[in-house]
Amino acid sequence: MKTDFCSVSDDASPETGEAALRGPDCGPHPGPRPGPPPGEGVTVLVCHSCRRPGDPETLPRPGTRLAEAAERAAADTGVAVRRVGCLGNCKRGISAAMLRQGSWSYVFGDLTEDSAGDLVKGALLYAGAGDGFMPFRARPESLKRGLIARLPTLDILPSLDMLKDLP
């Protein structure tokens, strides 16, 4: 049998019953090819111009340092980290947002330069959530208390019309 990358041998492993993959692109190893990285499909936007109220205007700004740390923390996870200009949350900076196709988006504030690991942990939770919502109880504390907004996708807006008359 032929796959996109390898040939699947007809002899199954006696221990697992799985066929071995062999070929120039995959080399010999048991089982199916590894899937995408766990955070694939999630983008973290970090406001690189952010600073907390009262911080000096020196460069690099705290938002830039958080973005750099988040980029390092996200290496090999599949989570994309992008630097953006002002997210308009200056009173509760340092700010970041998380986006995922077909899911609600999140905006966080009150972050610190040390929040990079929390952003990546949250992004991985978000990526693994089948319903598209980041599980609240499992979130790092900074993403619980720092939640600014959760925004619906554009395709859900028509179904929200039925909720407008609720108290």
Q: What is d(CA 143, CA 157) in angstroms, rounded to the nearest whole number?
A: 25
pLDDT string in tens for the chain (167-residue length): 333 333 334 444 444 444 444 444 444 444 444 566 777 899 999 999 988 878 888 899 999 999 999 999 999 999 999 999 999 998 999 999 999 988 999 999 999 999 999 999 999 999 999 888 999 999 999 999 999 999 988 777 666 666 666 66
Spell out the SS3 assignment of 85-97: CCCCCHHHCCCEE
pTM beyond 0.85: no
Sequence spans of domains, the chain:
1-35, 42-152
Q: Which two tokens stand for residue 144?
A: 């619980």
CATH of 42-152, one of 3.20.20.70, 3.40.30.10, 2.40.160.10, 2.60.15.10: 3.40.30.10
Please give the single-letter amino acid code of residue 25.
D
